[in-house]
Structure 1
Amino acid sequence: MPESESSGGKEDQVATRVCAKSELGLGEAIRVMVDGVAIALVIDSVGNCFALGDMCSHADISLSDGFVEGDELECWAHGGRFELSTGRARTLPASEPVPVYQVTIVDGDVYVDVNNQVDMSAYRASS
């Protein structure tokens, strides 16, 4: 779920401010905590911002230590790749998606709403 832009209206904001967008570089992932949830906050190569659950679904590895390539975040440990917009696992050994949360940019600040996830039911591996 890519970011949505807004201006003003911070009093209506239900999401949590995590940083200024200008603090992040293109193709960068950082770990942030929002209401006790570990998030891999990612800026892709064209400046879109995404928030994914920070744990690889294959192993208990922090995805924010991985690599951003195109529209994917790659786990540094075993090479599993996850689609930024959906959390869908694209390569083995990862087969289950990771959560993706709503990101909003307000006056240049990045907000993440951990109560607003992408519906991943279509991306789960069949059993």
Structure 2
Amino acid sequence: MLLFGCPVLDDVLLTVDELVVNALRHTRSGRPGGTFAVDIVSWGGSFAVAVTDEGAPCEPAVADADADAGDDAESGRGLRTVSLLASGWGWFGNDRSRAVAALFTPTAVSLGEIA
């Protein structure tokens, strides 16, 4: 019910997918026994999603479109996709615990609407 009527539902779900996959691939959450949490909040037509993981030594960053994720690359597009879909995104935490969050506001335009 939380996402019922969400005008950018596909974008929100793809973002959650990307953030969960990143948590599993790039943090201790992907190790045996690792955990992560997904939080979704809605207010006044805006939506925020966050994935909290068990941290990693490196910081989350959007890959350089030309250098890190060429046409044949199997990874490197996750946070770039999130940055294109969401009104904004960010992270906080350290090597023991980190949350990566994205915000969707009513004024945000879905990539699906551009095509």
TM-score by length of 1: 0.26
Instruction: Specify which structure has the higher proportion of strand.
Output: 1
TM-score by length of 2: 0.28
